[in-house]
Chains A and B, each alone.
Chain A
Amino acid sequence: MYTRRNQRNLTSSQRTQFVQAVLELKRAGSYDKYVSLHSRYFAADGETGLRVAHMTPTFFPWHRQFLLHFERELRTIEPDVTIPYWDWTTDRSATSSLWDPDFMGGNGRDSDGQVMTGPFAYGTGDWPIVYGVTNERYLTRNMGRPDRPIVLPTKQELDGAIAMGTYDTAPWNSAPSTQAFRNKIEGWTVSETKGGYLHNRVHQWVGGHMIGGASPNDPVFWLHHAFIDLIWVRWQRRHPHSGYLPDKPLSTHDPERGRVLSLDEPMPPFNVRPSSVLDHRKFYSYEE
């Protein structure tokens, strides 16, 4: 059992510890498999085949297990390290301490989006990009998308999603008509001009690597998804009588059978059932 903290409350040494563990993982050649894996399991709902990571009910448990693996590996390097969470409803600015040079580093520069400050700047030599959709060797960001500005999701928007009493609903996809908590948080159901919603909009707000198929190249990915994980915890607390859905395997006539996983069906590549990770308190708690 360990504690995940709000990144804004970390001590200076806790910030350093997290950064050093991540850098060591990268140096050892172990970081980039997470970038690759996240991309390989990103399947869309207009294609065929199983979806485990996005546009699917297992969005929350799959990412929980993904973070658990990453965190366990970090803790073999630094036993006290945990993944901090970034509450983007309160730390909403490109100048928040999250982006200071001792932690995530700052925004990308105007000319090419290259992050120039902090431990993940290319100039340090510690953070070369290995797997990328585009061929930059340096980490990129483009906070707030200045050419078509967007803002981070608000507390009001988040509260509206957490208020939804149903975890997920048929046909378990990203369509606007799939009205339940999971789809609302993922945030696919918005127009091209407004950008995404909640989870998706945070990826878009950070910009650079965070909007592509190689988003875990930006270490802030983990802080964003730790907050997404905490949002699931808050939803469970708010709706103690609602659970993960679908709770039984879909019928053989259901077109989504084989495409989404129910409560007790193992999630690849982890071979872990959603039911095994519903209660985070087996692993960690959140300091809120």
Chain B
Amino acid sequence: MVTRRRVLTTGLTTVAAVSGTAAALHPMLAADEPSAHGGSAASADAALGNAAGGTPLFDEVYRGRRIQGYSTADDDRIALLVDGRPLHVMRRVDGSWISMANHYQPYTTPLDTARGAVDVMRHADLSAAPVQLSFLHH
């Protein structure tokens, strides 16, 4: 959930500080380190299913990648995983979603959003560490 952003009154000599957004990119050196949660795809599955009353939307293999989708208890937000790693998504005003991987192309369903991300990821992994559930904790 995008919330208040701290306004910097100076230039860009430091990276602007923000809070409350899950969209921030992390340096890959950090992202490649083992997750603090010690996560695997299997535990991500279980954790997401339990988090915030999330319910599974789909779980399939698409072009060789495992994609999973969950909705939160209020059905207002979704969580997507590609091979166990979270794919951050944002909602558009018309109800469609964009993902961080395919950021300039909205999709009308969570499944198509996940597939659309896989379409452009080729063989790369998401750089977010497995099991990063902050975006369900709102």
Contact = CB atoms under 8 A, between A and B. Distances in A.
A33 B15 contact: yes
B40 interface: no
A246 to B, nearest CB: 17
Tell me whether chain B's interface is mostly helix, strand or loop, or mixed: loop
Contact of B5 (A196, A211, A212, A268): A268
Contact of A211 (B8, B24, B120): B120
Interface string B16-30: 101011011111100
Interface stretch (A82-90, A97-105, A119-127, A169-177): A169-177
Contacts of A44: 2, 90-92, 98
A212 B106 contact: no
Contact of B25 (A39, A173, A175, A204): A39
Most buried by A among B103, B108, B116, B122: B103
Contact of B94 (A133, A176, A214, A215): A176
Contacts of B125: 134-135
Contacts of A80: none
Interface in B119-135: 119-127
B11 interface: yes
Contacts of B102: 211-212
Given A133-B100, A133-B126, A204-B105, A269 B23 contact: no
B16 A40 contact: yes
Interface string A138-150: 0010100001000
Contacts of A69: 11-12
A32 B27 CA distance: 9
Nearest to B8: A269
A130 B21 contact: no
Given A47-B1, A135-B32, A42 B7 contact: no
Interface string B84-117: 0000101111111010111111111000100010
A270 B6 CA distance: 11
Contacts of B18: 40
Contacts of B1: 47-49
A41 interface: yes
Nearest to B109: A192
Contact of B101 (A133, A171, A196): A133
Contacts of A50: 2, 4-5
B124 A174 contact: no
A188 B106 contact: yes
Given A42-B103, A174-B92, A48 B25 contact: no
Given A37-B15, A192-B108, A269-B12, A135 B126 contact: yes
A134 B87 CA distance: 10
Given A171-B93, A212-B101, A271-B7, 19 more contacts: A36-B24, A44-B92, A45-B93, A46-B94, A49-B3, A50-B4, A112-B123, A133-B126, A134-B121, A134-B124, A134-B127, A135-B127, A192-B105, A207-B120, A211-B103, A211-B120, A213-B101, A269-B5, A269-B7
Interface of B: 1-9, 11-12, 14-16, 18, 20-21, 23-28, 31-32, 88, 90-96, 98, 100-108, 112, 116, 119-127
The 5 closest A-B pairs by CB, nearest first: A46-B91, A44-B90, A213-B100, A269-B16, A134-B124
